[in-house]
């Protein structure tokens, strides 16, 4: 039986939940680069879990993905509690409530960042979830929404939800504008405000406060960890996945699973074969690997070959092998 670090230790570094990106195939790929980081699913709505079939489509994962958290989208306490219990039954290590997504679609269903305007609802939901499971229930939120622009607004939200029993908050250090900005603009336009998150931690030392937003390097991770308990990286971990190869040594003090990029890619071969036998398309897996050789000689050819061939009918492992042949192998490298 494979062992993995406890959730409290793994949480030091995590990869953010990202729609269409942090799929089960991406998460297995991430495990070729880091054994210790906490992985998150895409946000899954309560409706999908309660009414969608088969549940494997929404909840399935590979054992290698642990430690693994399920992120839920919803606001009804009963439905969230039921879904949290289902998550625990499926073996997830944590269930996380999304209070950060700014899209119109989720707002219309009272999901995501709009819930920051309803801390009482979030508190009620968290309390119900905690009563239904023994695994941690955590919250991912923003530093504020719309006209909320004071430390007191964030602290008021945190206070109410913490009183309901939540001990872990991952805070995206940008406000969310719920009207007038697209979800993409909400990732870039509102300015980052790391000091607000740092002050929150200073004021609430008993809580686990993690930070998310705009962090791109190991050096920046170390700098943030001087002020908060954990770091979460999103787009950079996806678009420049080799960053993850330095995480285990830098933040957990143990060697990572891959010493070079070719080794990480080859570690995916057995999984890809199995998924192909299950009927998955090759590009379902390889699309997450396109950035592996970013900045390397032959990296563009690798990306182009996969982009042009992995989607073709009958594409198999030879497509990946041919793409790897376009990138010279070099001596083991540092991810830093």
Active site members: 101
Tokens of 239: 């678009």
CA 15 from centroid of its chain's CA atoms? 4
User: What is the β-pairing status of strands 230-233 and 13-15?
Assistant: parallel
> b/e per residue, 230-243, with b = 16+ CB within 10 A?
bbbbbebbbebbbb
Neighbouring C-beta atoms of residue 178, cutoff 10 Å = 18
CB-count burial class (<10 Å; 0-12, 13-18, 19+) for 64:
middle
Distance separating alpha carbons of residues 39 and 33, to the nearest angstrom = 12
**Among 10, 8, 14, 19, CA closest to 30:** 14
Tokens of 234: 């999103």
Tokens of 229: 């308990």
Query: In the chain, what is the straight-line distance between the N-terminal and C-terminal CA atoms, in Å?
Result: 31
CA-angle at 12, arms to 185 and 169, nearest 5°: 55
Contact indicator for 163, 139 with CB cutoff of 8 Å: no
Contact indicator for 232, 194 with CB cutoff of 8 Å: no
Phi, psi of 222 (to 5 degrees): -60, -40
């Amino acid at each position: 039986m494979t062992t993995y670090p406890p959730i409290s230790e793994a949480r030091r570094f995590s990869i953010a939940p990202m729609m269409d990106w942090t799929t089960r195939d991406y998460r297995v790929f991430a495990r070729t680069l880091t054994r210790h980081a906490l992985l998150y699913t895409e946000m899954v709505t309560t409706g999908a879990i309660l009414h969608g079939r088969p549940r494997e489509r929404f909840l399935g994962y590979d054992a290698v993905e642990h430690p693994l958290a399920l992120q839920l989208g919803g606001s009804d306490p009963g439905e969230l509690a039921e879904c949290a219990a289902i998550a625990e039954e499926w073996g997830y290590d944590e269930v996380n409530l999304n209070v950060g997504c700014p899209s119109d679609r989720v707002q219309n269903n009272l999901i995501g960042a709009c819930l920051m305007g309803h801390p009482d609802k979030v508190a009620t939901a968290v309390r119900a979830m905690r009563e239904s499971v023994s695994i941690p229930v955590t919250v991912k939120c923003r530093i504020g929404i719309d006209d909320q622009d004071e430390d007191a607004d964030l602290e008021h939200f945190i206070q109410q939800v913490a009183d309901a029993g939540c001990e872990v908050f991952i805070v995206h250090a940008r406000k969310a504008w719920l009207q007038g900005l697209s979800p993409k603009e909400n990732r870039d336009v509102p300015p980052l405000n790391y000091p607000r998150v740092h002050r929150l931690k200073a004021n609430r030392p008993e809580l686990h406060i993690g930070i998310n937003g705009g962090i791109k390097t190991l050096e920046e991770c170390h700098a943030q960890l001087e002020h908060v308990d954990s770091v979460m990286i999103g787009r950079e971990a996806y678009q420049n996945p080799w960053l993850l190869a330095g995480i285990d040594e830098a933040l957990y003090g143990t060697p990572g699973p891959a010493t070079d990029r070719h080794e990480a890619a080859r570690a995916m071969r057995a999984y890809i074969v199995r998924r192909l036998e299950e009927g998955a398309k090759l590009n379902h897996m390889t699309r997450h690997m396109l950035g592996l050789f970013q900045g390397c000689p032959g990296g563009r050819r690798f990306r182009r070959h996969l982009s042009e061939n992995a989607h073709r009918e009958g594409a198999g492992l030879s497509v990946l092998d041919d793409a790897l042949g376009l990138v010279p192998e070099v001596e083991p490298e540092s991810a830093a």
